[in-house]
Amino acid sequence: MRFRIPAAAILAGVLLFGLSAGSPAKTRRVIPIVLSSFKFEPSLFFVNEGDTVVLQLENVATDRPHAFNSAYLSTVDVQVSGQGKQGVTTDGTKYIRLEPGEKAEVTFVAKGRGQYGFVCNLYNHAARGQTGAFVIWPAGYHLPAR
């Protein structure tokens, strides 16, 4: 006795479960970033296109505010939660400012392969070394270990 699977059942299965040969699975990347006197730790991180990126910002300084400012944030939809305050500089770049001891999460979907910088845009913090960068690799690229 032969068993037949109707074409409609196969199509329904593909629609429900997808094809295994499709694009790489999207990943949620949580990246803790400590903001302290004139540095970000880490100051370099890597993600893949399509990843949901969660930057967990924490200002560990006891005496001064710090900010995470990147022109890249103005090119994607960003959700900010926690204690940080969002703002936009006069040149149109988005930032998240944290007072001493505050924490915030910045969530976005990585789009646009390339290298992007970030700085603390408060006072002379960037000039004193509070800068960093991140790289967005193609979807599915094996990220370097850090």
Encode pLDDT of 74-107 as tens digits: 999 999 999 999 999 999 899 999 999 999 999 9
- CA-to-CA separations, 13 to 9, 16, 26, 50, in angstroms, rounded: 6, 5, 21, 25
Whether 19 maps to a domain, the answer reads no
Spatial distance between the Cα atoms of 9 and 14, rounded to a whole number of angstroms: 9
Mean residue pLDDT across the chain? 87
Whether 3 maps to a domain, the answer reads no
Average pLDDT of the residues in 15-38: 72
pTM of the prediction?
A: 0.80
What is the domain range of residue 35?
24-137
Contact assessment for residue 44 and residue 133, using Cβ atoms and an 8 Å cutoff: yes
Whether the pLDDT of residue 15 is over 50: the answer is no
Whether 105 maps to a domain, the answer reads yes
Report the domain count for the chain. Answer: 1
User: Which burial class, exposed, middle or buried, applies to 133 when counting CB atoms under 10 A from its CB (0-12, 13-18, 19+)?
Assistant: middle
Whether 4 maps to a domain, the answer reads no
Contact assessment for residue 24 and residue 45, using Cβ atoms and an 8 Å cutoff: no
pLDDT band with cut points at 50, 70 and 90 for residue 21: very low
Whether 12 maps to a domain, the answer reads no
Whether 53 maps to a domain, the answer reads yes
Whether the pLDDT of residue 30 is over 60: the answer is yes
Whether 111 maps to a domain, the answer reads yes
Q: Pinpoint the alpha helices (H) of the chain.
A: 7-17
Indicate which CATH number applies to the domain containing 66: 2.60.40.420
pLDDT band with cut points at 50, 70 and 90 for residue 142: confident
